[in-house]
C-alpha cells in the first residue's frame, strides 16, 4: 500500500517537472549554488565512551534518520516524493539537483529567499504541511476564533496538525496520530538507547521522550532534557516553530545527537567562578553594578555526531536555546547548547578565508579557533552581567522594557565588547594565558566581517557595525594602503573599555533617546568596510557537513 502510493506520487513529480515553463538553474548554476556551502567531514573522538554508551549513541544516530524523513513530510506533502524522483535521475542535471535538494531539504533555495530551483516545484507553502494545502491562513485564523478555549489550545499547540474531515471541516490531529508509524519506530530506537546507557539522566530523558511520542505530552521529557548530565547529550523531537510561517504554532522535528566537550565544560566552570568578580569591576559607575548576580542559565558545550531534520538544512545551527514550552521555561529556565565542532568547521571554512582578505599578512596567523570559541563562550556569559533590572525616574523597570526594539542590538554589542573586556581582565589576572592577547582581538576583528557580511538586518550584525565603527573612530583599527584592517593593541584595549562603559551606562539609565542617537549614527556599513565585504564573494557562506563518525557508528548496529 505504502509503496504503491509513493510511486504514484513520484509520477506526479515527474509530470510536474516535464511541464514547467519557468526557467530554473541548469547543472552548472546549481553547482555554483551548492559551492556556497563548503563540504566538511564531521568527526568526533569517541575513544572515551565505553562500548555500551557507544551502542546507545548508535541507536540515536539511527533515530536521526527517521527525524530526517519526518521533517521532509512536515515541509510539504510533495517533498518526500520529489526526493525519490530525484534519486532516480542519473543525468548530470538530476545529480546537481539532488545534491542541492539534500542541502536545502526541499526544492527551495534558502540562500535565495526560498526560490524553487526545480522546474515545476510549487513555491514553499507558508503553512508548510501543518495545515490542509487547500486552506488559507485567513480560513485557519477564522476557524481558530470559533473554537472553545480547550479546542483553541489544541489547535494552536506545538504538537498538532490541522486537517480536513471527510465532510471538509477543519479538525485538530495530534502528532502521535499524524506521524504514528514513524514515531513508533523513533520510540523503539530511543528505548534501545535507554536500555544500553548506564547514565541515569540520559536513560530518564530517552524513556520519557519515547513515551511522549505516544502520549503527545512532551512536558516531562522536556524537564528531563533540562536535567541531562551525561556524556551523550541528545536533542531529539519536535522543537522549533519557524517552519510554520503562518502562525509559528507548529513544531518541526529535529535532532542534534551530540557528546559533551569535557575541556570546554571545565573552561566554563572556571569562568563561572570569576563572574561576580568581573561584575564588581565593570567599567561603569559603582552604583550600576550588581552586588549579587542571579543564577546562571545552564550552558552545554557539545560536539555534534549527527544533526537531522529541521536541525540540518541550509545555514547550519551553531548554538540553540531550548525548550520553547513556556511552562518548562517558567519551572526550569532554558538551556543553551553550543555546537563546538560546527563552530570550528565554520571557522576553518569561512572565517580563515575572510581573514586572508581582510587582515594584513602578519596578523593572519594570529586568527585561531581557540580565542574565537572562548570569546563566544564569554559573549554568552556576559549576557548575564551588567544592568538588567533598573530604576528610571523612581520607577522599577528593566533595560528591555525601556529600550524596546533597540534592546536586542545594544545587548548583542554589549555581550561582544564586554566579552573582550572580561577576557582581558582574566588575562591580566593570570586566569588565562596573556600571550593570547593580540590574537584575541585580531580574531574578533576578522570575525566581525563574517557577521557584517549578511547585511544589517539582525541584532548581531547591527551590534557588530556599532563596534567596528567605534574601534575605527578611536584609532584602534587602522586601514592600510591596501585596504586591510589592522589593530593598535593599546588603543584597542582603551576603546573596548570605553564602549563597554558607554553601552552599559545607557542600559543602566534606560536611555532610549541616547541609544537611538548612538545607533542611528553608528549602525552603518562605511565605504572602507564595504570594500572588504565586496572582496568576499568567493568565500563560502557556510558549511555542508558530512557525518563521518555517525556513518561509521551506524555500521556497528546494522
Ligand atoms: Zn548574544
What residues have a C-beta under 5 A from ligand 1, the ion? 412, 415
pLDDT over 50 (residue 7): no
| Mean model confidence pLDDT for the chain | 93
Instruction: Give distance in angstroms: CA of 445 to centre of ligand 1.
Output: 17
Instruction: Give distance in angstroms: CA of 415 to centre of ligand 1.
Output: 6
Summarize the confidence of residues 525-535 as an average pLDDT.
96
Instruction: Give distance in angstroms: CA of 446 to centre of ligand 1.
Output: 18
Q: Which residues contact 278 (CB under 8 A, 6 or more apart)?
A: 385, 422, 425, 426
Summarize the confidence of residues 59-74 as an average pLDDT.
98
Summarize the confidence of residues 523-538 as an average pLDDT.
96
pLDDT over 70 (residue 557): no
What is the pLDDT, as a whole number, of residue 454? 82
Instruction: Give distance in angstroms: CA of 523 to centre of ligand 1.
Output: 17
> Can you give the three-state secondary structure of 238-303, one letter per residue?
ECCCCCCCCCCCCCCEEEEEEEECHHHHHHHHHHHHHHHHHHHCCCCCHHHCCCCCCCCCCEEEEE
C-alpha pair distances (Å), 67 with each of 276, 307, 353: 42, 9, 34
pLDDT tens, 392-422? 999 999 999 999 999 999 999 999 999 999 9
Q: Is 158 helix (H, G, I), strand (E, B) or coil?
A: coil
Instruction: Give distance in angstroms: CA of 410 to centre of ligand 1.
Output: 10
**DSSP-assigned states of every residue in 397-430:** EEHHHHHGGGHHHHHHHHHHHHHHHHHHHHHHHT
What is the pLDDT, as a whole number, of residue 218? 97
What is the pLDDT, as a whole number, of residue 448? 97
Instruction: Give distance in angstroms: CA of 380 to centre of ligand 1.
Output: 6
What is the pLDDT, as a whole number, of residue 91? 95
Instruction: Give distance in angstroms: CA of 202 to centre of ligand 1.
Output: 28
Instruction: Give distance in angstroms: CA of 15 to centre of ligand 1.
Output: 47
Instruction: Give distance in angstroms: CA of 373 to centre of ligand 1.
Output: 13
The pTM (predicted TM-score) of the whole model is 0.90
What is the pLDDT, as a whole number, of residue 13? 35
Q: Which of 286-300, 338-352, 357-371 has the lowest mean pLDDT?
A: 286-300
What is the pLDDT, as a whole number, of residue 333? 86
pLDDT over 80 (residue 488): yes
Instruction: Give distance in angstroms: CA of 387 to centre of ligand 1.
Output: 15
Instruction: Give distance in angstroms: CA of 256 to centre of ligand 1.
Output: 21
Instruction: Give distance in angstroms: CA of 318 to centre of ligand 1.
Output: 12
Amino acid at each position: 500500500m505504502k509503496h504503491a502510493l509513493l510511486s504514484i506520487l513520484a509520477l506526479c513529480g515527474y509530470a510536474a517537472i516535464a511541464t514547467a515553463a519557468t526557467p530554473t538553474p541548469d547543472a552548472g548554476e546549481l553547482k555554483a549554488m551548492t559551492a556556497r556551502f563548503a563540504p566538511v567531514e564531521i568527526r568526533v573522538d569517541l575513544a572515551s565512551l565505553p562500548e555500551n554508551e557507544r551502542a546507545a549513541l548508535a541507536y540515536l544516530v539511527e533515530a536521526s534518520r527517521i527525524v530526517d524523513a519526518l521533517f521532509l513530510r512536515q515541509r510539504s506533502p510533495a517533498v518526500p516524493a520529489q526526493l525519490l524522483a530525484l534519486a532516480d535521475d542519473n543525468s548530470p542535471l538530476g545529480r546537481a539537483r539532488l545534491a542541492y535538494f539534500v542541502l536545502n531539504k526541499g526544492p527551495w533555495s534558502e540562500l535565495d529567499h526560498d526560490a524553487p530551483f526545480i522546474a515545476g516545484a510549487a513555491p514553499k507553502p507558508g503553512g508548510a504541511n501543518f495545515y490542509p494545502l487547500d486552506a488559507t491562513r485567513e480560513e485557519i485564523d477564522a476557524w481558530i476564533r470559533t473554537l472553545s478555549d480547550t479546542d483553541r489550545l489544541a489547535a494552536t499547540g506545538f504538537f498538532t496538525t490541522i486537517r480536513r474531515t471527510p465532510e471538509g471541516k477543519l479538525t485538530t490531529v495530534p502528532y502521535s496520530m499524524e506521524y504514528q508509524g514513524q514515531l513508533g519506530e523513533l520510540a523503539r530506537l530511543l528505548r534501545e538507547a535507554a536500555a544500553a546507557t548506564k547514565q541515569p539522566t540520559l536513560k530518564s530523558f530517552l524513556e520519557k521522550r519515547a513515551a511522549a511520542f505516544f502520549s503527545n505530552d512532551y512536558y516531562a521529557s522536556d524537564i528531563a532534557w533540562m536535567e541531562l548530565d551525561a556524556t551523550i547529550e541528545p536533542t531529539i523531537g519536535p522543537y522549533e516553530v519557524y517552519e510554520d510561517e503562518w502562525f509559528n504554532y507548529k513544531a518541526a522535528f529535529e535532532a542534534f545527537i551530540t557528546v559533551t566537550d569535557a575541556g570546554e565544560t571545565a573552561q566554563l566552570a572556571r569562568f563561572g567562578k570569576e563572574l561576580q568578580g568581573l561584575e564588581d569591576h565593570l567599567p561603569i559607575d559603582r552604583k550600576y553594578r550588581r552586588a549579587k548576580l542571579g543564577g546562571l542559565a545552564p550552558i552545554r558545550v557539545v560536539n555534534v555526531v549527527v544533526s537531522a531534520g529541521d536541525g540540518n538544512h541550509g545555514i547550519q545551527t551553531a548554538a540553540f536555546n531550548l525548550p520553547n514550552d513556556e511552562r518548562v521555561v517558567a519551572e526550569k529556565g532554558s538551556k543553551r547548547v553550543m555546537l563546538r565542532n560546527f563552530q570550528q568547521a565554520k571557522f576553518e571554512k569561512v572565517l580563515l578565508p575572510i581573514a586572508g582578505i581582510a587582515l594584513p599578512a602578519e596578523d593572519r596567523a594570529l586568527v585561531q579557533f581557540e580565542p574565537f570559541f572562548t570569546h563566544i563562550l564569554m559573549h554568552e556569559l556576559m549576557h548575564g552581567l551588567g544592568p538588567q533590572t533598573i530604576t528610571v525616574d523612581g520607577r522599577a523597570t528593566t533595560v528591555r522594557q525601556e529600550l524596546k526594539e533597540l534592546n536586542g542590538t545594544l545587548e548583542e554589542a554589549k555581550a561582544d565588547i564586554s566579552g573582550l573586556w572580561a577576557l582581558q581582565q582574566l588575562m591580566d589576572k593570570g586566569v588565562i594565558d596573556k600571550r593570547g592577547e593580540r590574537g584575541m582581538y585580531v580574531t574578533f576583528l576578522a570575525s566581525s566581517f563574517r557577521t557584517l557580511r549578511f547585511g544589517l538586518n539582525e541584532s548581531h550584525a547591527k551590534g557588530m557595525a556599532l563596534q567596528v565603527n567605534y574601534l575605527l573612530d578611536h584609532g584602534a583599527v587602522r586601514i592600510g594602503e591596501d585596504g586591510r584592517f589592522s589593530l593598535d593593541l593599546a588603543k584597542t584595549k582603551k576603546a573596548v573599555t570605553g564602549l563597554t562603559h558607554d553601552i552599559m551606562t545607557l542600559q543602566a539609565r534606560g536611555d532610549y533617546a541616547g541609544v537611538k542617537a548612538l545607533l542611528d549614527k553608528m549602525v552603518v556599513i562605511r565605504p572602507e568596510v564595504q570594500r572588504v565585504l565586496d572582496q568576499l564573494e568567493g568565500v563560502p557562506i557556510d558549511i555542508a557537513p558530512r557525518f563521518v563518525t555517525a556513518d561509521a557508528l551506524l555500521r556497528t548496529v546494522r
